[in-house]
Amino acid sequence: MIRIISILVGLFFTVALAWSFGNGAYTAITEPAPVTAEHEFHKHPKEVHFASDGAFGKFDRQQLQRGFQVYKEVCSACHSLSHVAFRDLTALGYSDAEVKAIAKGFQVPGIDPNTGEAAMRPGMPTDYFPKPFANDIAARAANNNAVPPDLSLMTKARHDGGKYVYSLITGYQPQPAALLKEFPDAKTPPGLHYNPYFANLNLAMAPPLTSEGQVSYSDGTKSTVDQMAKDVASFLIWTAEPKLEKRKQTGWPVLGFLLFATVLGFLSYKNIWHDKKKQLHS
């Protein structure tokens, strides 16, 4: 009896699932979703090459340092890097003394040793990059009711992360006349900025990089908007995956070992079972 009930319950759920799938497919065909401005005018990230791309890609340390400089002088006013410690910057080629100097330039939450009360103090290499706002309410008040996201893992959280960051930074533009003609109600609201590389086309963040020379690179590289955007995108690729080079370096020997082990296993199989197969066929 229990077996029959189990079969009937399973059959019921199978029929219900099939009906739901069929009904959903029929609805999608007969009542297609309305075309929206986001669907029509949203763009995929631009094609751009980074030194870390590909199976043999490696980080360009000079570019990472330039990207960090862009983050420090432009992006850090609104965006945090809560998963990155100052001491991690040694991987970019900074010396211990330089890391200490960089950390000291940031104020981080601490405790006053005399009163025991919360206070701000200069950062140390062991500290993590501090948040630019005390809380989300303060962040919203300063950014048109939007909380700037943490950038530590941004390039892993978005499809084509590095390309997405680069495209977003360089993608600000006036709304196309064709968009307003086709979707009159899709006009960018006051306080927001049109960007076709953002999911809903409008975002609260103003263009962060607006002119050449906005950041003066210490290595003499010409700081065009395109160059700065590419550099900071490369830096954020590193913050999201600082072990990328090590992973690639480890991956190739592992693949080589697996290939060798596969060939060795196949040859062993042939050798061990060679006589057995002859006996079976004789």
Which residues are documented as binding site?
Answer: 75, 78-79, 205
Residues of the binding site for heme c:
75, 78-79, 205
Give CB contacts under 8 A, 24+ apart, made by 173-180: 176/41, 179/37, 179/40, 179/41
128 beta partners:
85
| Buried b / exposed e along 84-106 (16+ C-beta atoms within 10 A) | bbbbbbeebebeeeebbebbeeb
Is residue 9 helix, strand or coil? helix
Helix (H) or strand (E) holding 156, with range, is helix 154-157
- Hey, what's the torsion of the CAs at 132, 205, 87, 124, to 10 degrees? -20
Cα end-to-end span (Å), the chain: 52
Residue 258 CB neighbour total at 10 angstroms: 10
Q: Are 93 and 65 in contact (CB under 8 A)?
A: yes
119 beta partners:
110
214 Cβ partners below 8 Å, 6+ apart? 74, 223, 225, 228
